[in-house]
Structure 1
Amino acid sequence: MNIDLIRKETAGCSDKIFLNNAGSSLMPEIVVNTMVDYIKQEEQFGGYIIMNKNQEIISQFYEETAKLLNGKPSNIAFATSATDAYAKALSSISFKEGDCIITTIDDYISNQIAFISLQKRFHIEVIRVKNLSDHEIDLEDLEALIKKHHPKLIAVTHIPTNSGLIQNVEGVGAICKKYDILYLVDACQSVGQLKVDVQKIGCDFLTATGRKFMRGPRGTGFLYVSDKVLEQKLVPLFLDMRGANWTAFDDYEIFQTARRFEHWEISYSSLRGLTEAVKYANTIGLDQIEDYNRKLAETLRTGLHTKGYKVLDEGKHLASIVTFCNKDNEIENIQKVFSQSKVYFSISNKSSALIDFTHKNINAAIRLSPHYFNTLEEIETVVDLL
């Protein structure tokens, strides 16, 4: 990777140390320029004409995203966020009273709330699989729960928002395939920072956002839908003319691709921006991005340990999300130093990680999330500040 060129093409990293990529990352110039250019065209000619004129360019989104995930364009749907994609996936499953969802204690807050909402409305059961002592998913417990409860869905967050844990989504996928269970993966924090391969994972749905490690605009995301789901004719609860043809007064015919999970009205300037962000990552190569990010995160964790801070990330495989606090669990002084020194960071609160932070006996943590436009020198500067 040409880090100097990448930083030159990332205007926002010139005057600060930006370490909040797990929140909302810095867009490359090509992303911003593409969106502005598209809006300028709409300004002159209106949205419909420009949409029709740019159909070939718009289709690049599906091709580039399929390339990113090792899928096919027909498996990809645009979404306005990862939560939008997640809700559409959940709504395509016909839950009824007595059904069961198996998830983890590390699933994302919005996902956990969605499960509880389904539980309250449809009286389904939500069961959380145990973790091993090293914080990995207990696959034996998962298989035992499957045999006992016969779940309708298994849902796993690849990387939780509140820690660097990389969950064993491939191991879970193999078990889901064995028992033919629908499998939903939230890749909101993993897509863009490491290689994500839907064929290796074996998932039926995978959701992601554009604004985080993908370095796209806010208000964008995508949904991967497997061929199995498409062949089973699963559709979101509320279709519109983007997902089906109105064939009779009281009937419709669904479209064959994952675009049935989209709605007609979307921001095409945002879609174009996300396309360029995905293309940017594909051009660099996720293998290189993953290797470099691992080096940044390992250097940061080592430095924090050396300075006597409590690093909270647990698991065999850790990602480019680093959470920590003082030994007395205090974070206020760290916030003050970072804010004064133009280090951009985030705070993970217990309300977003209720189970995990209860087990860790903390109320909040500093979250740093370096990405491939950061340098090792910046990491060393942050450690020296601390």
Structure 2
Amino acid sequence: MSSPLSPATVDALRARTPGVHTTTHFNHAGASLPSAATLDAIHAHLSREASIGPMEAGAAGEEHTERARTLAAQLLNALPTEIALTTGNSPGWGAAFAALGPWRAGQRILVARHEWGGNLATMRHLAQRAGASIEVIPSDASGRVDPRALEAMLDDRVRLIALTWLPANGGLINPAAAIGQIARRHGIPYFVDAAQAVGQLPVDVAELGCDVLAGAGRKALRGPRGTGLLFVRQDFLPRLMPAFVDTYSAPLDANGEPVLRDDAARFESSEASLALHCGLANALREALEIGIDNIRAQIDRIAQTLREQLAVMPGVSVLDQGIERSGLVSFNVAGMDALSVRRSLAAQGITIGSNGVAYTPFDMTNRGLAQIARASVSYLTSDAEIDKLLAGIRTLKH
């Protein structure tokens, strides 16, 4: 049974995280703070490269790469052959989308209102030149994507359903599994952007019913920046032809012809940072040891406490929608733009995020929001840090 982490456990985790001693960090949704062990794993491989040569150190790095792949598969309830290690969420998602092949006039892509702006840019760049359309699935009264509205939109021209599970501009959690049931029933490819979910929520790709799922290493997983995970369902893989291959993803046969790998590593390259893979492997190990259910319970407790205290603060509007919520807490301060709020808090040693329309253009436009301030928590976040953030907001001149 899952439960929030004990104060002693949190203290021990914080003691093994150098960054908590130098900053009050509320931008875990941008990038979280790595543990000392994750940093040590990266440094150890860099030292091997410096000592015996980068290529010669490759064998040890490859071992950690495969360990990261195996641990990622465990985290997502997938097969190791269904996992590609990428350089980030967007590169993985974009590579899988590009691998769908050319689009035709009249084909449709259905997205939730909360779709990540980077994904929308990728879709528009490739699809709209061919005359394909991107259409928004309506949301329900809580703000979440509405599965019933999605089903009413379906026809034989729908080629893809894309969902950002946890939006970048607030705490809403979309019903990803309910969308997946509809996609599977109608045989429509289903891509899930799980950048904010992986490491924060339990993720079961079988339960989600997705064909592709992308995640980031630098966010809730507390892995190094420049790492990501890409799940591709094994029986969906033959439908994807990568736009770029090399001697790792498609080695040449005896006749000099490229032979595309038959696993998700067809989306990898021989030119990868093995040091970062070492760090990612350690971050995955730590998350699994703590327990994702326990992480979820702890983050939920902390985020709910922060929301409740912000909601009663004069001049502060909490903007989170949905029924079930994540560790992203969005708010605005009356009379101040979000960037000024972020800069003023940074001057006090407190880091938060601030998002504009480009992050989630459909949702921000629909709700009449030009910007939001975002305080995102981790299971590392302490009550003292929440008190410091609230005190910092009270000092703002608005």
Same fold (TM over 0.5): yes
Per-residue CA shift, 1:289-326, capped at 9, x if unaligned?
A: 00000011100110011113111111111110011012
1:100 aligned partner: 108
What fraction of aligned residue pairs are identical, expressed as a percent?
A: 28
Per-residue CA shift, 1:129-157, capped at 9, x if unaligned?
A: 1111211112122112113x531111100
2:67 aligned partner: 60
d(CA) in 2 for partners of 1:355, 1:58:
37
- Whether the 8 Å CA contact 1:95–1:124 is kept in 2: the answer is no
Instruction: Answer yes or no: is 1:35 the counterpart of 2:22.
Output: no
CA change 1:197–1:329 in 2 (3 A) is farther
Shift of 1:233: 5.0
d(CA) in 2 for partners of 1:305, 1:36:
43
- For structure 2, the 5+ residue unaligned runs are none
- Whether the 8 Å CA contact 1:301–1:311 is kept in 2: the answer is yes
Instruction: Answer yes or no: is 1:120 the counterpart of 2:143.
Output: no
Alignment of 1:348-367 (within 5 A): 348-367=355-374
Give me the TM-score of the superposition, normalised by structure 2.
0.92
2:86 aligned partner: 79
Q: Which SS does the other structure have where 1:253 is aligned?
A: coil
- Whether the 8 Å CA contact 2:115–2:362 is kept in 1: the answer is no
CA change 1:122–1:333 in 2 (3 A) is closer
d(CA) in 1 for partners of 2:340, 2:96:
42
Instruction: Answer yes or no: is 1:298 the counterpart of 2:304.
Output: yes
1:271 aligned partner: 277
- Whether the 8 Å CA contact 1:66–1:75 is kept in 2: the answer is yes
Q: Which SS does the other structure have where 1:252 is aligned?
A: coil
Shift of 1:96: 2.3
Alignment of 1:182-201 (within 5 A): 182-201=189-208
Q: Which moved more, 1:330-339 or 1:75-84?
A: 330-339
Aligned residue identity for 2:121: I
1:146 aligned partner: 154
1:288 aligned partner: 294
Shift of 1:333: 6.2
d(CA) in 2 for partners of 1:42, 1:327:
52
1:240 aligned partner: 246
d(CA) in 2 for partners of 1:36, 1:299:
37
- Whether the 8 Å CA contact 2:159–2:189 is kept in 1: the answer is yes
- For structure 1, the 5+ residue unaligned runs are none
Instruction: Give 1:109's match in structure 2, choosing from 105, 108, 117.
Output: 117
Shift of 1:78: 0.7
Q: Which SS does the other structure have where 2:362 is aligned?
A: helix
d(CA) in 2 for partners of 1:262, 1:297:
36
Instruction: Answer yes or no: is 1:131 the counterpart of 2:139.
Output: yes
Give me the TM-score of the superposition, normalised by structure 1.
0.95
Instruction: Answer yes or no: is 1:219 the counterpart of 2:226.
Output: yes
Shift of 1:228: 1.7
d(CA) in 1 for partners of 2:49, 2:131:
47
d(CA) in 2 for partners of 1:379, 1:53:
41
d(CA) in 2 for partners of 1:316, 1:195:
17
- Whether the 8 Å CA contact 1:235–1:261 is kept in 2: the answer is no
d(CA) in 1 for partners of 2:47, 2:181:
48
Aligned residue identity for 1:209: A
Instruction: Answer yes or no: is 1:369 the counterpart of 2:376.
Output: yes
CA change 1:84–1:330 in 2 (3 A) is closer
- Whether the 8 Å CA contact 2:61–2:274 is kept in 1: the answer is no
